[in-house]
Chain A
Amino acid sequence: MQDEPTPTELLNAVAEFLRKDIAPKISGAAAFKLRVATNAIDLVVRQLELSEPRAGEELKHLVKLLGEDGSLLDLNRKLADSIATGAVDLRTPGLADHLWQTTMDKLAVDQPNYASYRRELERKENS
């Protein structure tokens, strides 16, 4: 077992330093790059916090959809191939829900402010 602080705590401290102490001191292309850098750190923090619990759900659904066991990567390959060949399509029970859920999970990490994602999130809360 590794000791504290956690990776998330360390990364948040780095991001805060970059935003509060460095950002006000630079401008132009360097300031733009710094924003990209802090965005990248924030993304990694979200992935550390969110992806593990969601991965378990995703695996469970993949096993159910495909009727076989495997790693997340293997089963995703299998699902992609099955859609490509037409063996599985939107009429297959559970496929649309699975694709929606895994895509929403990706957006929660990658781009939680993306307008389409915000819209779909509201829809889910209202339904």
Chain B
Amino acid sequence: MSESFEADLARCVTRWCAGATGIANAARLSGGASQETWSFDIVHPNGDIGAILRRAPSGYGAAPERAAGLDAEAVLMQRAYAGGIPSPPVMHVLEATDGLGTGFIMGRIAGETIARKILRDDAFAAVRPKLARQVGEVLRGLHGLDRATLPQLRRMTPATEIAELTRDYRSFDWPRPVFDLALRWLADNDPGPARHETLVHGDFRNGNLIIGEDGIRAVLDWELAHFGDPMEDLGWICVNSWRFGAIDKPVGGFGSREEMFAGYEAAGGRVDAARVKYWEVMGTLRWGVMCCGMMQRFRAGPDHSMERAMIGRRASETEIDLLRLLAPRARGG
């Protein structure tokens, strides 16, 4: 971490946060080379304010084509917050004069994002049974956001998603017969575009939710937001990879589809269970293709890390899950 970064951040904060005198405790949380997340405190005479900076440093402008872009993410989080979706308040969208690249600063919400803790720690035992229903309620809320107030985003349908996954898979030039089986099934069972297309979060799952002892406190990481079939979000959170071992509780390892559906419908939404299942298959394949993509990036560099390499060896997890979905074995329990 450079001193000039901290100085730039302090200068930025004092410009728009009345009374702020500087920053403290800046620490990088995560992210790859193209996107960074920082936690820091805004030093203020009335009490320090916990904050998060999400930014792409200058020179890393080219976002992957799926990404909505940080400016769009900031607007989405503002709309979500205004619409009553659990969300951190966006305090500042970075400007060129800030010298910090593109991105935004938001309030820091206390809570847990690590799935294994949420699914196992005693602190969450009381709230766990309520989470599947809450997932449904929150998803319905964000699907109900007025499209006219939202930024320009990509439109995705089953057909465009299949086309992208096929292209990505073929580019790896490594045969995975189970992926071909899934692609074929998805094409043969394509339900077509949804009749009512809405905002889709695109990555609503364990890891991108801040959860406290009172439930879901914030929805994070709108990077993959787009317009499309709202059932996609319900299917994605059922992908087995986000159950972290609690495989009999399909909604993020928290609870049942029925509980999620009940929450969604109580909040005014309509569930199409067959489409949810369809998107669960799509999502399982998508995560598998993403794992292979990590391996490709490991090979190509510059992020030549063991972690990326080892994620490549998790693609087979999605293959067994695809077989469990598409070719379940008859006998046994």
Residues of A bordering B, CB below 8 Å: 33, 36-37, 39-40, 43, 73, 76-77, 79-81, 83-84, 86, 89-90, 96, 99-100, 102-104, 106-107, 110-111, 114-117, 119-120, 122-124, 126-127
A98 to chain B, nearest CB (A): 8
Shortest beta-carbon distance, A64 to chain B, in Å?
15
Cβ–Cβ < 8 Å partners of A73 in chain B: 175
B313, A90: Cβ atoms under 8 Å? Answer: no
Q: Which residues does chain A contribute within 8 Å of B8, judged by CB atoms?
A: none
Which of the listed residues B181, B326, B331 has the most CB atoms from chain A within 10 Å of its own CB?
B181
Cβ-defined contact, B323 with A99, below 8 A: yes
State whether A116 touches B317 (Cβ < 8 A): yes
Whole-angstrom CA separation of A33 from B240 in the bound complex: 25
* Interchain CA distance A36-B175 in the complex, whole Å: 26
B175 touches A107 (CB 8 A): no
In the complex, chain B residues whose CB is within 8 Å of the CB of A119 = 247
Checking B240, B246, B323 against A100 with a beta-carbon cut-off of 8 angstroms, the contacting residue is B323
In the bound complex, CA of A39 to CA of B313 (Å): 11
Given the known interface contacts A36-B306, A73-B175, A115-B245, the answer about A84 and B180 at a Cβ–Cβ threshold of 8 Å is: yes
Query: In the assembly, what is the distance between CA of A89 and CA of B184, in Å?
Result: 9
CB neighbours of A114 from chain B (8 A): 317, 320
Q: Once the chains bind, are A33 and B329 in contact (CB under 8 Å)?
A: no
A120 and B317 alpha carbons, distance in the complex (Å): 12
Q: Is the CB–CB distance between A115 and B247 below 8 Å?
A: yes
Chain A positions within 8 Å of B243 at CB level: 115
CB of B41 within 8 A of chain A? Answer: no
In the complex, the answer to whether A100 meets B327 with C-beta atoms within 8 Å is: yes
How many angstroms between the C-alpha atoms of A103 and B320 in the bound complex? 6
Q: Return chain A residues, CB-CB under 8 Å to B183.
A: 84
| Residue B214 is within 8 A (CB to CB) of chain A in the complex | no
Residue of A nearest to B326 (CB): A90
A99 contacts B177, C-beta separation under 8 Å: yes
Known: A40-B310, A107-B317, A111-B313. A120 touches B324 (CB 8 A): yes
A residues in contact with B246, CB < 8 Å: 115
A76→B327 contact, CB < 8 A: no
With an 8 A cutoff between CB atoms, is B116 at the interface? no
Q: A120-B329, A123-B331, A123-B333 are in contact. Are A83 and B316 (CB under 8 A)?
A: no
A116 is contacted by which of B324, B332, B333 (Cβ under 8 Å)?
B324
Provide a sorted-by-A list of 6 A–B residue pairs whose CB atoms are within 8 angstroms. Answer: A43-B313, A80-B179, A81-B180, A99-B178, A100-B323, A110-B314
Indicate with 1 or 0, residue by residue over B168-188, a CB within 8 angstroms of chain A CB atoms.
000000011111110110000
Cβ-based interface call for B307 (8 A): yes
Residues of chain A within 8 A of B316, CB atoms compared = 103, 106-107, 110-111
